[in-house]
Structures are given as C-alpha cells and as structure tokens.
Amino acid sequence: MKNFEIFQYIFFKWTMALLIGLCTGLIGFCNNIGVENIAGFKFLQTINYVRQEKYVKGFTYFAGCNLLLATVTAALCAYIAPAAAGSGIPEVKAYLNGVDAHSILAPSTLFVKIIGSILGVAAGFVVGKEGPMVHTGACIASLLGQGGSRKYHLTWKWLTYFKNDRDRRDLITCGAAAGVAAAFRAPVGGVLFALEEVASWWRSALLWRTFFTTAVVAVVLRSLIGFCRHGNCGLFGEGGLIMFDVNHATTKWSALDLVTLAILGVIGGVLGSLYNYLVDKVLRTYNIINKKGPMFKVLLVITISLLTSCCSYGLPWFAPCTPCPPESGNECPSIGRSGNYKNFNCQDGHYNDLASLMFTTNDDAIRNLFNSNSKNDFHLSTLYAFFGAMYCLGIITYGIAIPSGLFIPVILAGASYGRLIGTLMGQFCNLDAGLFAILGAASFLGGTMRMTVSLCVILLELTNDLLMLPLVMIVLLISKSVADNFNEGVYDQIVKMKGLPFMEIHAEPYMRHLAANDVVTGPLVSFSSVERVGIIIHALRATGHNGFPIIDEPPFTDAPELCGLALRSHLLVLLKAKKFTKQQHLMRSDIKKSFKAIDFAKPGSGKGIKIEDLIIKDEEMNMYVDLHPITNTSPYTVVETMSLAKVAVLFRDLGLRHLCVVPKTPGRPPIVGVLTRHDFTPEHVLGLYPHLKHILK
Amino acid sequence: MKNFEIFQYIFFKWTMALLIGLCTGLIGFCNNIGVENIAGFKFLQTINYVRQEKYVKGFTYFAGCNLLLATVTAALCAYIAPAAAGSGIPEVKAYLNGVDAHSILAPSTLFVKIIGSILGVAAGFVVGKEGPMVHTGACIASLLGQGGSRKYHLTWKWLTYFKNDRDRRDLITCGAAAGVAAAFRAPVGGVLFALEEVASWWRSALLWRTFFTTAVVAVVLRSLIGFCRHGNCGLFGEGGLIMFDVNHATTKWSALDLVTLAILGVIGGVLGSLYNYLVDKVLRTYNIINKKGPMFKVLLVITISLLTSCCSYGLPWFAPCTPCPPESGNECPSIGRSGNYKNFNCQDGHYNDLASLMFTTNDDAIRNLFNSNSKNDFHLSTLYAFFGAMYCLGIITYGIAIPSGLFIPVILAGASYGRLIGTLMGQFCNLDAGLFAILGAASFLGGTMRMTVSLCVILLELTNDLLMLPLVMIVLLISKSVADNFNEGVYDQIVKMKGLPFMEIHAEPYMRHLAANDVVTGPLVSFSSVERVGIIIHALRATGHNGFPIIDEPPFTDAPELCGLALRSHLLVLLKAKKFTKQQHLMRSDIKKSFKAIDFAKPGSGKGIKIEDLIIKDEEMNMYVDLHPITNTSPYTVVETMSLAKVAVLFRDLGLRHLCVVPKTPGRPPIVGVLTRHDFTPEHVLGLYPHLKHILK
C-alpha cells in the first residue's frame, strides 16, 4: 500500500467512527423523545379520566393504547424482522466472536429495532432500550462499513474500504459501545461495556477509537438535550447529560454498613441468578410458542401487554393515599407527569406512592427510587408490591417478540429491592434509602449480567455520585461471586440457548485429554494447486466447506506438500473470471495482473458470489485453473498430536476460521484435516467422546 | 487437579489480590503522610524565617533540607538499588510483556522505592509518586506471589502457589493497578491504566480481579483518611477520597469553546511531544553521567536539587504582592500551609501568587491551579513563570537517580499552561480558568503518555467532575492525535532506550517480506530424547539457551521426529535428581513418580537451580537420562516458509517464549530452529537484512 492509501484508510476509519457516533447519538435521542412523548401523552390522558372518576374508561384507554403499540411492535418483529426481537446483545457478542449469523445486522433488523424499541418501551412493557440501542449501534456500524445495502438500493462507493473481518469487527465494536453510551448517556461506561461484555478480541487501538465514538455520542446528546431545554421537544425536557442526577450530599459509612451491604450483595446475587434461571425457563417455553408462527408471536405479546396494563393500572388502587409532606411544597402532588408524588386516585394534598412507581415510564420510576429526599416517600407495602411486580413482569416479558433490553427491568427490580432493604434497615444504617436503591440495582445487575467494571462505571455515570464508587464495587463483587456459583451470565445463557457456536476464551478441561486429530472429522476435500475446474465446481456444490487445503503435487514438486489454504469465496471469484488453461500448467503472474485486491475483499452479508451464479460450460469443466494466486501460503498449522486444549487456545486467541492439521510422521499425505469453529464446540467434541462428559471444570 | 486444590488455588488468588490491595493502599497512605509531614514542616519553618525577614537563613534552611533529603534518596538509589530510580512504569510494562529483567522486582528495589519516593517528593523535586507507586505495587505483588524473599530470610510456605508466568503476571497487573489507585485514589482509573498502558495480555477474569484489588485500595484509603480527619496524622488532614475536589458548578459550553479547546489540544499535543523529545535527550545525557559511577549519580541529584531549591525559593521574589480579594475572608493570606493565598514575603492583607504555586507541595500547587473560585487569583506573568519553570524542571529532573513519577510534572506543566490559556481567553470563553487548568493538564497528559480512556477516568476521579467528561475526551483525543505524528509515548520511548526486548502487538511491516527461517540463526542445540548426561551438561554450560528441542531418534522411532521442547530450568531439576541409567533406555514412569508438579514450578527471580550448583561425577557424565518426562510434547510450531509477520503475531498473541520452526519438505532433520523474543527485535532482523530498513510503516 502506498502512503496515500494508508492515510485514506486511516481517515476513513475515523470518519466511520464519527458517523457511527453521530447516527447512534441521534437515534438514541429520537428514541428518548419518542418514548417520552408517546408514553407521556398516554399517561396524561389516562390521569385525566381518573381525575374525572371515569375509571373504566381510563383503564380502557390506557390498556388500549398499550395494546395498540404492542401489537404494532409485535407485528413488525414477527413479520418483517424476527432477528430484531429480544435484546440483541447476545447476537452482537456472537458476531464479534466470529459467528456470522443470518440477518443479525440487516437493514430491516435495524429499522424494526429502532421503531420497535420506541413503541415497545412506550407501550409500558417492563423492558429497556439499552439492548436494542447496542444492537442498533452495531447495525449502523455494519451498514456504514459495508457501504450501504444493495437490497434497498442504498449504496455508496467511497465507503467500501472495510472488507475484512477485523475492520468490520472493529466498527461493530464501536457501534455497540456507542449504543450503550447513547442509552445510558455514559461514554466511558460504553467503552468498558464493549470491552468487558461484547468484544472477544481487543486491541489498544480499538480502545481509543471506541472512546472517540462514545465521545461523539456524548457531545451529540448534550447538544440535543440543550436544544430541548427550551421546550422544543414536546413533553421531553427533563434531565441533563446525567440521567439520574442524585448527589447524595454526604456518603459516610461505617463498618456496620459494610456488613449490611454484604448481606444486600449476597441476597442480590441469589435473586439475580434466580432471575437468570427463570428467564431461561420462560424463554424456552416462549420459543416453543413463537415457533408456531408469527400469529402466535403477536398473541403472546398481546397477552403480556394486557397483563402489564392490568398491573400498572390496577395495583396502585390497593395502595393507601398518603398526605403530602409539608416540606415538599409545590412538588406534591405532582400535576405533570414526572415527580415523586403522583396524585392518581387520591384527593388533593395526598399522593399515591405506588402510582409514582407503577404508573409512569420506567426511567421515571428508577429516578423516583434513586431519589433520596426523604426516607418515607414509599411505604414498605408499596415497595414489596412493586418489587414483586417488576421481578415477575421482567421475567415474563423477555422473550416475547419485541425489542427488549434487560438492563432496565433488572435495575427496576434491583432498585426496589435495595430501597426495600434500605427502608427496613432505616434506623440502623447511615446510608439513605436512595443510595440503597442504587446499591440494590448494582447487586441485581451483578447477579444477572456478571459484569463488574463496566456496570460500576455505567452506574457512576448514570448517577454522578463518585463517592459511592467503593460501595458499588463491593456490592457488585459480592453479588457476582455469589451468582457465579449457580449459573452463568444472562447473555452467555442466551447465546448458548440460541445455539450459536461461541468460542470461549478458555479451553474446556476435557480438551486436555484429546489431540488435534481426535476431532478432525469428515472426508477431507483438498485441491491440487493446479486443479481441474470440474473437480472444484463439484466440491463446492457437494460440500459447505469454506476453506480448502491446496496441495502442491508432482510434476510441480518432488512429493506432495501443503501449499496453503484457499477460501470458497476466493475460489468463486477466480472461477467467475474464467482464467482457465487447457493444460495443467502454472500461470500465476498472468492471473495476478487481472485482479485487484478489492476483488477478493470479503463481501457484505448476502452480497458474495454464489456457486449458483456461476455459468461454466461443459468444455470448461475439463480445463485447468491455477489456484496459487488465491492460496494463502502461510496458513496456521498444528501437528496432529498436539493437545486439543492448546489448539483451541491458538484458534481462539488468533481469531482463526480454519486451522490446518498436519501429520507428525513423514510419508503420509501432507494434511490430515482442517479444523473449524464447529470442531471445538462441546456438542461436537462430547458427541465424539461422550465418556469425557464427567470431567469437571 | 482435584476439586479441593482448585478451590484452594482460587481462594489463594483472591487472598493475594486482597493482600496486594491492603499493602499497596497502606503504603500509598504512608507515602502521603510522610510527604505531607516532612514537606509541611520544612515549608512552615522556612516561612517562619521569611516572616522574620531572615531571608538568607530561610534559603539556607530550605535548600539544606532539600539537599539532605535528596542526597539520602540518591545514595539509596545509587548504592542499594539502582533499579529503583526513575518511574518504574516502563520496567513493569516490559515485565508484563515477558521481559524478566534483573532485579526489577527485588525486595531491595521495593524498599528503596518506598523510602526514596517519600524523601524525593518531600525534597521538593518536580516529581510525582504515581510511577513509584505502580512499581511498588508490582514489587509487593511479586514478593507476595513468590512467597517472600529467600535472600532476606522472609519466606512463607503457604504462598508458593503462583509458580508460573501467567499467575505472576496476573498478580503484578493487580499490583500495578493498585499502585495507580493508591497514588490517585482512583480505583477505576487504576484498572483502566493497567489495561491500557501496562498489561500486554488481558483477560476478562483479570479485569475482575484487578478491580477487586483497586476496590480494596479505595476502602483502605478511605478508612485511613477518615481516621486522619480527627487530626491524628500531624500535618496531614486535608482532602477526602477525591484528591482535587473541584465541582465547577455550571459547565456550560458553546461551539466557540470547542474551537478554543481544539486549539488548546493541538498546542498541548505539540508541547507534549516536545516534552517527550527533550526528556529523551536529557535522559541519554544523564545515562552517560550515571554510568560513571554511583558518586556521579549523587552529584547529579545534588545539582538538580540546588537548582530546584533556587527556583522554588527565588522565583516568588520577582512576583508582585496582590491585595487579598475582600470576599476571601479568613482564607487570605493563608497562615497554614495550604490554600490559594500564600503570604510569603508580602505585608499583611496581601499575598504572593507565585509563592502559592512554587513554594508548596506539588499536590497543593495542582489543587490551587484547578481551583475555580476566582479568575484573577493568578497574574499572567505568574502563570508564564510557573509554566516555564515546571516544564523545564520536569524535563531535567527525570532521569536522575531518584524514584520519579512523570504524571505530576506533566500535570503541573499542563495545568499551568491550561490556566494560562484560560486567563488569556477569559472574556471570550464561558469556561472558567480552573476547568481550563484541568483541560490543559489533559492535553499535556495526552501529548506525553498517549493514553486516553484511563487518563480520562483518572482525571475524572481526581476531580469528581463528571460533566466535563466530554470536554476532557475531546482534548485528550486531539492532543494524542497531534503528538502521535511526532514521536511515541514517553513510556515506550524509555522502554526502547533501556534496550528491553519489548514485543509490540503489531508485526513490523518489513516482516511481511521475510519467512520464519530467514531469522532463525545460530547453531541449533537439540537433544535426543534419551540423552547422555555429559552432552546435556556441556550444552547447558556452553549456551545461554533456555529451551532445547528434543528429538525422538532410532531406536525409539523409525526416523528422527520432533518430540517436543525442554526448558533449561526443568533439565536442571532433572539432572539434580540424578535419575540416570547406564543404558540408553526409557524409564518414563519411574521418573514421573519421583517428582511432584511443584518441583518444576517456575522459581522466583534468582531462586532457581544454576548449572554451577550441579555436582556431576565423571562416571555419571557417560550415563543416560530420559528427557521424556520433562518434554513439552505439544510445543507450538510453524513451518519454515511461513511469513514472519504471521509468526510474530502468533508469538505475541499466545505469549510464547519459544517457537519451534519445522521444515516444510520431508527428509530433513525434524526441526530447523527455535525462535525466541530476541529473534523478533528490529535490531536482530534489520541487522540481518539491512536493506529492509527503508520499508515504511
């Protein structure tokens, strides 16, 4: 590459990061405005009916709105882009691990994810927007990186630089980080989230580019929020760059507090892992229902929507009305939408504390729980009811056909759990109930997601309270440690349930008892370095392999030896160009001249040449083609007797897709087989050697 | 390993993390107290002389104190532990990259580093304690991990679990993170620093353990600071967990401000890279002086100490006295040590603003610069003078024989530069001068250290001002980008200058033009799998190799084939046990029984068996020993024709120390050579192929 090309490449990389940041920030903001306006309007109207004592009409209106929004979302997800349902984080995680699953990052998925997330959250489901935002960011990055979508006639030529796995992965990592940054307005948290949870390979250079992307997101959000301060965005207008700005004036703590926190963490860890367990069970049940067809998906969404509406509207009626505290002044009862003191069904001067939590957007409920103005804002019974409702609704909502983030449900349940403990411990503890809510949220997040550093920073950026950092750290560590004894993190669980061949960073213990050639299976399909066209075509049709070993054979060498590895996509490009010869001879330089590097670049998803696209005449089938120009002559190889555990580490650490296994003793064919990702999956290995199942971790 | 052993191992790992956190936190706190008390006493006494108008006596006292402290530090560094001089971060970085340089982590180094850092900072040098703290943390981790020091008869048996490179590296990474956390009271920043700057390999599990360590540090510091609040620690008593708590009430910024910041970042980047350039030049000069002997080292320190004393004491005399602003009340002039308004030589009711910066500890100077109470606390001339002094003193101080961190000098110069720009831009800008000081510090840090995310988080935790995060990000990114055009980060520069064979994460471009066998050199020394003792002894004496290929030969196999790789340390253990046989035959199981895994564990630095320790009789020299039990039969191998760039990636990513190169064609000896770290260094490769030098990056 010339100097200029390198400069152009670097310039485009940074431009892409900038664009990803801009787009994701913008979409995140639109999402915010959309939800706040739709949900706000819905709540205002319903409250009006309640104030006029038209209770049934109020419920009908409320449930009707929710149902309409939910049905539209479900229809979009079920009929247009099934890949847009759910969180999206497991899929992005698998993609960055090297799993190119179908349509995960397609334009239709992006569209449904954006719209569906707005409508789904506005429909009052106990779901968040952070998972969908991560997925959205990744989709944007993918679309930008592959130069638009050919299917929808949206292509641009100047952005076709990123034609290899690594550049794509880098972009999508940036996109995922930007998604978190946009959802939580947490730029550093976004970077750490991408690092800790999403990315499988990480380089320092990537840290730096990801950071730039999230900085752009932060600036975009900041500017737009500034613009909205002046009342230009309808009902949106609250909140600065910090989502839940709760400066707990003094954060003093004693040894006794630490004991309380330890207990909080332990229980949080247990409840968190139970949450994972239940989500898994529910998800498996839902999968059975969802497989029956799109109509069933929609029906399931409708059922859950009605149930959620009943809870949100119904439960507050059981809560008693509380007189407004005198020091609250104008704040109580709140007339508008947000605020700690919802009037709901109470007479003037009173408020319904359960309505303040249930009958509002999820963001506002969290803000109310994190609030630390007064210890007695919420009755114990209210917190019990809210915690129970959120825990159960969160579990039964994930898995229905809407874009649904897991963070917010977990934070909701965790914050109410924390506030509950805080209220119970009231007189024994120096920490206020709002801080307890934050710590409870931390314990639940630690118990379900099992991230530590990124959650800590996200919580820090969410609440702007640096002094509670050590407390959050302790709670997170305890709850994660406890939960790790029971099951694995919720995203790993979902990845596994979806059957994606995720490569873990560690080799499994049973691999130490096997060698590379123990798992090499299937008939090996290899080509001679100057091969007959017919043989190649036949092999490409008959197998699904993506990599083929190329063997140098006499007359070109004395004995057969491994020349290298050729990829299916490159073979197809070569065959399409039809540089065939009648005789079996070398024509390396000839061929090299007629191609450019870009011809062999990895195409976007669904854009490559397919074997069906090739039209080869019969006489051409007997001609020869020289495979040297497309052969990777330095493939990574391992000796057949090498420990499978070490092979797995090599495969994973270097991010390979094919690994050649060569024989140890001379005098045999120069290659034993090719290992791919699937050969390392527990299903494959333990399928071959079931007796190794008992070997513990 | 049995279940119990695994549990024990994990338990010890976490215990170690806890201990490292406790010790590092404690030492960090002692360092703080020590510096504040020594320096505070010195300043108070000197001020007393000045107030009594005994100016010469004041200077003599001041310079004398500094000189005494400096000389003690220099003597310790020069005579006891030369490895303790300097920052220590480059050495730790190299160690974590796999360079086991001599005595970097020895107990004597630890001792001198702790004492020297306290005395050096108290002596008024423009140095910080963060580099030394990182080194201290790493030393503690190393000592704890290898179960004490045999040399000083401090050993404990139960901590001898961590006998391999990876566990040691993990512990030392935790130690380095704990060091940053203790120095800056920045737990998250510490983790990120370890991740971004120090560690060469990183796993998610490590993130989590590092985080635990820094959380412990934070809790330790918090408790101790709480204890000191009640006046139990002499002159120490200021400051909470946040070092420079500067909540800039409103942080609003406009587009014009962003332009100003861009300019600030560009200039900061240029000045930062110039700083690196000058540090490099000065360091090379100092190295020549320091090589002449310990006496010269001490003399150099004395010279710099006198120069620094002259600046600190002399420069404030040129500054005019300013009347105290009426709103400052009791604060001005400050009677005690800290505060923005030093009285120094002025009459009552006036203050000397340059003295507030120069004639105080570095931490207080930074606090004063970051302070945003009033825009006009500092005259322009004061800031010019202070910036110039700090920039020059910082450059000439690094490299003398004292433990010296680079962060604080860079922050000092950067903060004064930022405050200068802020004061100059005063009327055009919404941002206050204190915020400008922070941003200036960020620009200088970005320009010299070239870290982004970790610096950002450290600055955030130092100042507790979350809203300025996007601004800091932008400035850091700009200054790093600008500075990257001129030279590399200061730590990389020092690593290179010290001649440590650091493996970069990227393969160098010229490596693409070479194959593995192009760089394999030297006569290959290999052993037969059942080898004569004399041959092994001779080879171990004659070469310095640490890994030897083992070849299976007839009669054990049909043709010679590669059995694996044996390490020098394992050969020595085997030879010491004297399991020799008269005849050349296998005795694998026999030998295996007589050793435990722990016998072959990697010894602590300087603790292994040496070839000189072996006493082999003459008749034993002709006996045979079976090397199979100590042979690693799954070494990583590459084919000789493989591209050197790919080989380098394999070597680096898997963290290897030896890589076997095998022949491509059969019928030759089964191994071509062994590649080690040194074979990938530019010196070696470009020494062999000088014509590749012109290939650009």
Distance of residue A436 Cα from the nearest chain B Cα, in angstroms: 18
Chain B residue numbers with beta carbons less than 8 Å from the beta carbon of A650 are: 636, 650, 654
Write the CATH number for A132.
1.10.3080.10
Residue type, A391: Y
Tell me which of A9, A188, A195, A472 to substitute to probe the interface with B (most B C-beta atoms closer than 10 Å): A188
Same domain? For A84 and A214 the reply is yes
Give the residue on A whose Cα is nearest the Cα of B206. Answer: A196
Nearest partner of A105 among A156, A76, A146, A72, judged by Cα:
A146
A212 touches chain B (CB under 8 A): yes
What is the model's pLDDT at position B156? 57
Same domain? For A384 and A464 the reply is yes
Pairing of strands B527-528, B547-552: parallel
Same domain? For A512 and A532 the reply is no
Question: In whole angstroms, what is the distance from residue B507 CA to residue A220 CA?
Answer: 37
What is the model's pLDDT at position A590? 67
Q: Which residue has the higher pLDDT, B50 or A25?
A: A25
Nearest partner of B206 among B655, B656, B677, B658, judged by Cα:
B655
* Contact yes or no for A273/A457 (Cβ under 8 A): no
Pairing of strands A637-639, A659-662: parallel
Distance of residue B203 Cα from the nearest chain A Cα, in angstroms: 8
What's chain B's length in residues? 697
What is the model's pLDDT at position A15? 87
Q: Could you read off the pLDDT of A72-99 as tens digits, one per residue?
A: 999 999 999 988 988 899 999 999 998 8
Residue ranges of A 120-149 with Cβ closer than 8 A to chain B: none
- Cα dihedral: A158, A163, A165, A167 (round 10): -30
Q: Could you read off the pLDDT of B622-656 as tens digits, one per residue?
A: 888 888 888 888 899 999 999 999 999 999 888 88
What is the model's pLDDT at position A151? 58
Out of B591, B613, B631, pick the residue that ends a domain: B631
Range with the poorest average pLDDT among A69-83, A602-616, B76-90, B184-198: A602-616
- Would you call A365 helix, strand, or coil by DSSP? helix
Region of residue A629 (left: phi > 0; alpha: psi -120 to 50; beta: else): alpha
What is the model's pLDDT at position A94? 92
Q: Is residue B390 part of a domain?
A: yes
* Contact yes or no for B393/B311 (Cβ under 8 A): yes
* Contact yes or no for A422/A435 (Cβ under 8 A): yes
Same domain? For A9 and A113 the reply is yes
Distance of residue A214 Cα from the nearest chain B Cα, in angstroms: 9
Residue B538 has pLDDT above 60, yes or no: yes
8 Å CB contact of A452 and B187: no
In order, the DSSP letters of B83-102 are GGSB-SHHHHHHHHHT---T
Among the partner-chain residues B464, B634, B664, the one whose CB lies closest to the CB of A466 is B464
Out of B631, B664, B689, pick the residue that ends a domain: B631
Residue type, A684: H
Distance of CA A217 to the CA centre of its chain: 18
- For the record, the structure tokens of B499 come out as 């001649």
> Counting beta carbons within 10 angstroms of the beta carbon of residue A338, is it exposed (0 to 12), middle (13 to 18) or buried (19 or more)?
buried
Among the partner-chain residues A456, A461, A650, the one whose CB lies closest to the CB of B636 is A650
- For the record, the structure tokens of B327 come out as 């709103």
A248 touches chain B (CB under 8 A): no
Chain B residue numbers with beta carbons less than 8 Å from the beta carbon of A9 are: none
- For the record, the structure tokens of A270 come out as 């247990």
- For the record, the structure tokens of B12 come out as 């010890």
Same domain? For B551 and B511 the reply is no
Q: Is residue B276 part of a domain?
A: yes
Residue type, B252: K
Q: Could you read off the pLDDT of A519-564 as tens digits, one per residue?
A: 987 778 899 988 889 999 999 988 888 899 999 888 778 888 888 9
Residue type, A674: V
Q: Is residue A352 part of a domain?
A: no
Nearest partner of B413 among B459, B479, B362, B351, judged by Cα:
B362
Same domain? For A64 and A153 the reply is yes
Q: Is residue A235 part of a domain?
A: no
Q: Show the domain range for B455.
A: 255-292+314-340+353-497
Question: In whole angstroms, what is the distance from residue A656 CA to residue A651 CA?
Answer: 5
8 Å CB contact of A457 and B453: no
- For the record, the structure tokens of A145 come out as 């990186």
Question: In whole angstroms, what is the distance from residue A209 CA to residue A221 CA?
Answer: 19
> Counting beta carbons within 10 angstroms of the beta carbon of residue B237, is it exposed (0 to 12), middle (13 to 18) or buried (19 or more)?
middle
* Contact yes or no for A444/A414 (Cβ under 8 A): yes
Same domain? For A386 and A274 the reply is yes
Q: Is residue A263 part of a domain?
A: yes
B641 touches chain A (CB under 8 A): yes
- Would you call A675 helix, strand, or coil by DSSP? strand
Same domain? For B508 and B617 the reply is no
Nearest partner of B478 among B329, B276, B265, judged by Cα:
B265
DSSP H/E element including B528: strand B527-528
Same domain? For A261 and A373 the reply is yes
Write the CATH number for A671.
3.90.1280
Same domain? For A299 and A377 the reply is yes
Out of B597, B631, B665, pick the residue that ends a domain: B631
ipTM of the assembly? Answer: 0.84
8 Å CB contact of B461 and A456: no
8 Å CB contact of B470 and A641: no
Nearest partner of A297 among A399, A393, A392, A409, judged by Cα:
A399
B453 touches chain A (CB under 8 A): yes
Give the residue on B whose Cα is nearest the Cα of A250. Answer: B240
Total of domains in chain A = 4
B638 touches chain A (CB under 8 A): yes
Residue ranges of A 615-634 with Cβ closer than 8 A to chain B: 633-634
CA distances from B411 to A211, B87, B248, B462 (A): 22, 15, 19, 12
Same domain? For A69 and A180 the reply is yes
What is the model's pLDDT at position A460? 78
Q: Is residue B649 part of a domain?
A: yes
- For the record, the structure tokens of B515 come out as 């194959």
What is the model's pLDDT at position A139? 93
Q: Is residue B141 part of a domain?
A: no
Chain B residue numbers with beta carbons less than 8 Å from the beta carbon of A633 are: 641
Low-confidence stretches of chain A (pLDDT beneath 70): 1-2, 102, 147-163, 231, 234-253, 327-331, 334-340, 373-377, 464-467, 587-592, 597-598, 601-607, 696-697
DSSP state of A641: T
* Contact yes or no for A591/A579 (Cβ under 8 A): yes
DSSP H/E element including A625: strand A624-626
Same domain? For A561 and A689 the reply is no
Q: For residue B598, how many other CB atoms are within 10 A of its CB?
A: 9
Among the partner-chain residues B222, B466, B561, the one whose CB lies closest to the CB of A665 is B561
Chain B residue numbers with beta carbons less than 8 Å from the beta carbon of A477 are: 208, 211-212, 215
8 Å CB contact of B3 and A207: no
CA dihedral over A233, A234, A239, A242, signed as positive or negative: negative
Q: Is residue B326 part of a domain?
A: yes
* Contact yes or no for B564/A641 (Cβ under 8 A): no
In order, the DSSP letters of A210-237 are HHHHHHHHHHHHHHHHHHHTTS-STT--
Region of residue B89 (left: phi > 0; alpha: psi -120 to 50; beta: else): alpha
